[in-house]
Amino acid sequence: MRVAIMSDIHGNREGFSAALDDISDRRIDQIVLLGDYVGYGPDPEWCVDTTMRLVEAGALAVKGNHDHAIADPSESMNTIARATINWTRPRLSKAQCDFLAALPLTLELGEVALVHASLNSPERWHYILDDRRAVTSFRQTTARLIVCGHTHLPTLISQDTAGTVRQHQALTAAPVPLLRSRRWLAVVGSVGQPRDGSIAAAYAIFDTATSEFEFRRIAYDVGTTVHKLRAAGLPEPLAIRLQKGK
């Protein structure tokens, strides 16, 4: 089974569409969405609608911190994130809000554990930025692969036969065989707001038959998204971030 994993779409219609177009060409059997459908971007309604349609068609989706903040204004956030969530909240219909509120924090797909931020206390939204911060996630599960988002930085981490957790280079361009001798944790990067220096939308494909994991980057029309952000009067740093990819 070939699984496409997307995270942190953040109301970016152009990025989300480009990633979905790419997916349609790649014999994907299962779509997985790791949360943060809204926040930061100018098209939250479209992104939530698309997510709802995908879930209806069989996609798996978990909840992100921005999705949670729609229903729970007390969620702690930085000023810009809070400003866009406050801008987003009135734009969503009740059905859309209910959909986001009902999303689970974690899911499992065969040997793969799905979560937005980290498996240890998923509701606290810990950032897995390096191997040290991945250790506790490995402790929470026996899953062979944990996939998550939240940091917007594609990252690959493994736990070897001796239990040592190490970070590896997350290279695009070639699928990495996720050896069965280890357990793995992959942060897939962000579809709608990349922060690793590349402006292209990030997502990943995992092939359960070959056990190969591929980080993908898809160019999309950043200019249009930036234009919409400005037209909506959203904070300017968000536009700059999309143009710089960090």
Give contact residues for another protein (rule: CB under 8 A): 156, 160-162, 164, 166-169, 171, 173-174, 176-177, 179-182
By beta-carbon proximity to another protein, the closer residue of 57 and 162 is: 162
What is the spatial distance between Cα 91 and Cα 98, in angstroms, rounded to a whole number?
A: 13
- Which pair of structure tokens corresponds to residue 153? 């930085």
By beta-carbon proximity to another protein, the closer residue of 1 and 171 is: 171
CB-CB contact of 212 with 178 (8 Å): yes
For the CB of residue 166, give the shortest distance to another protein in the complex, in Å. 5
Pairing relationship of beta strands 176-177 and 212-218 according to DSSP bridges: antiparallel
For the CB of residue 162, give the shortest distance to another protein in the complex, in Å. 6
By beta-carbon proximity to another protein, the closer residue of 9 and 153 is: 153
Q: CB neighbours of 68 closer than 8 A, spacing ≥ 6?
A: 75, 100, 123
By beta-carbon proximity to another protein, the closer residue of 120 and 155 is: 155
3-state helix, strand, coil in the chain (%, to 5): 35, 20, 45
For the CB of residue 11, give the shortest distance to another protein in the complex, in Å. 33
By beta-carbon proximity to another protein, the closer residue of 79 and 161 is: 161
**Residue 135 to residues 32, 163, 164, 199, Cα–Cα distance (Å):** 23, 9, 9, 29
CB-CB contact of 193 with 241 (8 Å): yes
For the CB of residue 145, give the shortest distance to another protein in the complex, in Å. 15
- Which pair of structure tokens corresponds to residue 64? 């992100």
For the CB of residue 164, give the shortest distance to another protein in the complex, in Å. 8
